[in-house]
Structure 1
Amino acid sequence: MTCVFCAIAAGEVPAQFVVDEPDLLAFLDTRPVFKGHVLLIPRVHVGTFPELPANQLEPFFAMGQRLAVAVEEGLGAKGAFVALNNKVSQSVPHLHLHVVPRTKGDGLRGFFWPRTKYASDDEAAEYAKRLREVL
């Protein structure tokens, strides 16, 4: 199975490019949440966020930051929703950052999954401890 984002990077699949740099590409999502919804990808195939080499983190997120500013200044958005799915809900198995222009009252309502609560401060502390141990 061919990665559609690799095919876009190779010029095999057309896209509306916003950024075309040696290591990064950004293009309009063909099924945007709102018009101007941009996808930022590493040019070479990187499947998931943990696979992105450390030396590429800063350039990747710096460009994401620039795109967030661009949707405001270039499209008149009042803000941006910036998101990265990793494995679960990752519709294309190639790392990509969504930059979606937002305006007040645009109809996008937070996150679309149920929220939960910790049973106690002790339970929350245990979750934090387990994460620190891995880090």
Structure 2
Amino acid sequence: MTSFIVEAHVDRIIHPEWADNPKCVFCLILRNKLPAYILHEDEKVISILDVAPLRPGHTLVIPKIHHKHISELPEEYAAALGLAVTRIAKALTKVLENHGLNVVGNQEYAQAVPHVHYHIIPAPEPDVPRDRSKYKTLVPPTEKEMHMMELEGRTKLGEDFAREFADKIRRELSTTVLSHL
């Protein structure tokens, strides 16, 4: 009954905006050409740990089509992205026992990889002191100082942490999905 619909898509020309980009880091991950610690994957979205995290658990949620702008993302992918962000955020807060998160989606401005993606960044632990000795201490930090503190706070994702953390998140996600059935 639906075979004519399937046949209509055989050898179809893909719109250039929907095609993957051979130089895009995320497209390379999606084609298994680059490694990644995958937390969640479905037919439209993949969630991975950031390789240069701001804080432990820093996660990226990425649609499986190459689009540079959030504003041009097809609605079905935007919906899948939103659902994945919510599920990953819930799992992160449970595993990290920290409900503070920052969810960021950049469009051109501050977008290091020109492929739509959201960052889910756990908030710093409130009792962890921050070294501000090289910055002004009596006034709030300037925008440039905040950016520098965030940049200096990045570390390389450690394999042991990534493997263990990804396992915890995947277990949490599977329990959450099963509890909704």
Q: TM-score, normalised by structure 2?
A: 0.57
Higher strand share: 1
The reply to whether residue 69 of structure 1 matches residue 90 of structure 2 is yes
Higher helix share: 2
For the residues of structure 1 that align with 2:142 and 2:89, how far apart are their CA atoms? 19
**1:43-58 alignment, distance < 5 Å:** 43-58=64-79
Q: Which amino acid aligns with 1:29?
A: D
RMSD after superposition? 2.3
**1:11-22 alignment, distance < 5 Å:** 11-22=32-43
Q: Does 1 or 2 have the higher relative contact order (CA < 8 Å, sep 6+)?
A: 2
Contact 1:27 1:38 in 2 (8 A): yes
Q: Which runs of 4+ in 1 moved over 2 A?
A: 103-107, 109-113
Contact 1:48 1:86 in 2 (8 A): yes
Contact 1:28 1:36 in 2 (8 A): yes
2:119 corresponds in structure 1 to: 98
**1:1-135 alignment, distance < 5 Å:** 2-102=23-123, 103-105=125-127, 112=143
Which structure: larger Rg?
2
State the 1:65 CA deviation.
Answer: 1.2
Report the 3-state secondary structure (helix = DSSP H, G, I; strand = E; otherwise coil) of the residue aligned with 1:92.
coil
Query: Runs of 5+ in structure 2 lacking a partner?
Result: 1-21, 131-139, 145-181
For the residues of structure 1 that align with 2:89 and 2:97, how far apart are their CA atoms? 11
Alignment: residue pair count = 113
Contact 1:17 1:26 in 2 (8 A): yes
Query: Runs of 5+ in structure 1 lacking a partner?
Result: 114-135
